[in-house]
Copies of this chain bind each other. A is one copy, B any other.
Amino acid sequence: MSYKAPLKDMLFDIKHLAGIDQIAQIPGFEDAGFDTAQAVLEECAKFSEGVLSPLNWEGDKNPSSFQSGVVTTTPGFKEAFKQYVEGGWQGLQHPADFGGQGLPKTIGAACGEMANSANMSFALCPMLTDGAIEALLTAGSEALNAVYLEKMISGQWTGTMNLTEPQAGSDLAAVRSRAEPQADGSYKVFGTKIFITYGEHDMAENIVHLVLARASGAPEGVKGISLFVVPKFLVNADGTLGERNDVHCVSIEHKLGIKASPTAVLQFGDHGGAAGYLVGEENRGLEYMFIMMNSARYAVGVQGIAIAERAYQKAVGFAKDRVQSRPVDGSIKASAPIIHHPDVRRMLMTMRAYTEGCRAMASVAAAAYDATHHHPDAEVRKQSLAFYEFMVPLVKGYSTEMSQEVTSLGVQVHGGMGFIEETGAAQYFRDARILTIYEGTTAIQANDLIGRKTARDGGQIAKGIAAQIEATENELLAQGSADALAVAKRLKAARQAFVQVVEFVAANTRTSPNAVFAGSVPYLMLAGNVVAGWQLARSLLVAQEQLAQGVDAAFMQAKITTARFYADHLLTKAPGMRDSIVEGAGSVNALALDAF
């Protein structure tokens, strides 16, 4: 099943929800109006559909393999990566100063979705490189960045993020890797890192590892963690590659999904110490990591949307093709394609509504990000940052959780064929399963949402968003169509449930942390649900306006139906979630440890 980029839907969001033409008013983004977005997206669609997508199933069948320290990627990946680099795709969102294209995230996110829909295992490599680039842009010294950034932004060298150790997963306080300062200002790094995505591979000439480790004498816990660059090959003064550094891949994992993407165990310093270079200041590693992680978390959320889109397309293709049984309404007097059966419709609509809702949410979040950097109005920058930061755990947590349901429905639509690996639906289901885990599990996102994003300001940002949602409800009421009124009703109930939970969180996080954190993930899911539903409600308003103007009636009508479906079938979950969160904490924590 080939992949077809949903350009129309992406451009609808970029234009009408994210407001690309406003973004193009921001200094630095002058060339990034709608026409640019369209041109870039079309080009990216070509590349994703033509080059990356055909390698996706191949990567599942012939995963990256490991032998004697060397990782060989799936046949075709190396060549595809070369084309990726030649196309300049790695530099899309990075500064022109270092050879990038400096495009807004609003455009970059859509491109990221396409690459991940086409081939998630492949797209992980550039995604991790993006993260490493952001870390250097955030905190790297001019000297360090002069050595690395241009090569990484061109895609010539790739990047990794080395956080996890066997005893330190979600709990980075437990990191034990250490770094000894050397006379020349560099460090020698020692330790074991696990779950390192593209920690070793054969697609680029150098790999730039960003590594969390403790400098000698650093305090315990998260306050003693520093960030280091540890390249696979040392870099000579003239920029050419020097000798092999003391970082080695000792194995790669046998995983449930994203099999083409090598997940490495890296050993640092087994032969005297790996040369490492401090990023920023000592003991501020976690702070840098968090800035970078916000970007990576957003990107993983986009992966959720991407894999959901792919699963949806495949399921639609099958449902239109597979003939089985007569429709229950007697409208066809013979066996019909299964898309004529209401439950298949329900599954496809669920997949579609989730995917479009999360895409809309991610697009709007990206627009806020774009406004945080160079918007001339400081108040707009501040508010945009607050909004974006609130959105990050939702984009990451909600979009990846929904991708579990959507890819599972994708299997279900295929019936027995869905369980057969050659069909391909199972690959999306397996690939998606990592998304709620890496870059911080959903629970870690939810902790962030509760602690830093809700409790800290007493729920003010959350309530500000609720006020915006209420404004949309009023627009729906004013619009007055049956669909608008129905959506308004569900949105209102969901928004009220959200506000009640925000108040519960704000009031109790300090005094009853167990009660609040018992509902942490449900709160995240509720918040994601209401925000995605809100964005589809906004979409409905736009679509009804466009429809009235005679623009693309079929697309606009479908958008209205999808928004209505989201409201009727997904927003309806919100009040029950409120009940569980606000009134149900006791039974979460009540069972005696021995009783489990």
Q: Which A residues fall within an 8 A CB radius of B?
A: 164, 167, 169-171, 173-174, 194-195, 253-257, 316, 319-320, 323-325, 328-330, 335, 339, 341-346, 348-349, 352, 404, 408, 411-412, 415-416, 418-422, 426, 429-430, 433-434, 436-438, 441-443, 446, 486, 513-514, 517-522, 554-555, 557-558, 561-562, 564-565, 567-569, 572-577, 579-580, 583-596
A580: which of B167, B255, B568 is its contact (CB, 8 Å)? B568
Q: Would A595 and B554 count as touching, CB distance under 8 A?
A: yes
Q: Would B421 and A429 count as touching, CB distance under 8 A?
A: no
Chain B hits for A443, CB < 8 A = 341, 343-344
Q: Which residue of B lies closest to A494 (CB)?
A: B576
Q: Would A588 and B171 count as touching, CB distance under 8 A?
A: no
Question: Complex Cα distance A438/B412, Å?
Answer: 10
A342: which of B335, B579, B589 is its contact (CB, 8 Å)? B589
Chain B hits for A596, CB < 8 A = 316, 319-320, 339, 348, 352
* A589-B169 CB under 8 A given contacts A412-B442, A433-B419, A575-B575: no
A518: which of B346, B418, B441, B577 is its contact (CB, 8 Å)? B346
Question: Complex Cα distance A137/B575, Å?
Answer: 50
Question: Complex Cα distance A584/B442, Å?
Answer: 29
Question: Complex Cα distance A520/B558, Å?
Answer: 23
* A574-B576 CB under 8 A given contacts A169-B324, A588-B565: yes
Q: Would B342 and A518 count as touching, CB distance under 8 A?
A: yes
Question: Complex Cα distance A14/B595, Å?
Answer: 20
Q: Would B564 and A586 count as touching, CB distance under 8 A?
A: yes
Q: Would A595 and B195 count as touching, CB distance under 8 A?
A: no
CB distance from A399 to the nearest CB of B (A): 16
A164: which of B167, B416, B436, B589 is its contact (CB, 8 Å)? B416
Q: Would B429 and A412 count as touching, CB distance under 8 A?
A: no
Q: Would A421 and B254 count as touching, CB distance under 8 A?
A: yes
CB distance from A241 to the nearest CB of B (A): 32
Chain B hits for A170, CB < 8 A = 324-325, 415
* A520-B343 CB under 8 A given contacts A195-B416, A441-B415, A576-B574: yes
| Number of copies of this protein chain within its complex | 2
A343: which of B344, B521, B579 is its contact (CB, 8 Å)? B521
A419: which of B173, B256, B422 is its contact (CB, 8 Å)? B256
CB distance from A420 to the nearest CB of B (A): 5
Question: Complex Cα distance A42/B576, Å?
Answer: 40
4 further interface pairs, Cβ-Cβ under 8 Å (given A346-B522, A561-B590, A569-B580)? A173-B335, A343-B446, A352-B591, A575-B575
> 10 closest A-B pairs (Cβ-Cβ)?
A568-B584, A565-B587, A558-B595, A343-B443, A342-B517, A171-B325, A572-B576, A328-B513, A342-B518, A256-B426
Q: Would B588 and A346 count as touching, CB distance under 8 A?
A: yes
Q: Would A517 and B434 count as touching, CB distance under 8 A?
A: no
Chain B hits for A577, CB < 8 A = 572
Q: Which residue of B lies closest to A562 (CB)?
A: B591
Chain B hits for A590, CB < 8 A = 561, 564-565
CB distance from A74 to the nearest CB of B (A): 18
Q: Would A349 and B588 count as touching, CB distance under 8 A?
A: yes
CB distance from A41 to the nearest CB of B (A): 20
Q: Would A169 and B416 count as touching, CB distance under 8 A?
A: yes
Q: Would B593 and A339 count as touching, CB distance under 8 A?
A: yes
Chain B hits for A569, CB < 8 A = 580, 584, 587-588
CB distance from A367 to the nearest CB of B (A): 26
* A345-B254 CB under 8 A given contacts A164-B416, A594-B554: no
Chain B hits for A415, CB < 8 A = 169-170, 437, 441
Q: Would A412 and B436 count as touching, CB distance under 8 A?
A: yes
Q: Which residue of B lies closest to A338 (CB)?
A: B170
Q: Would B561 and A587 count as touching, CB distance under 8 A?
A: yes
Question: Complex Cα distance A156/B322, Å?
Answer: 39
CB distance from A460 to the nearest CB of B (A): 22
Chain B hits for A418, CB < 8 A = 437
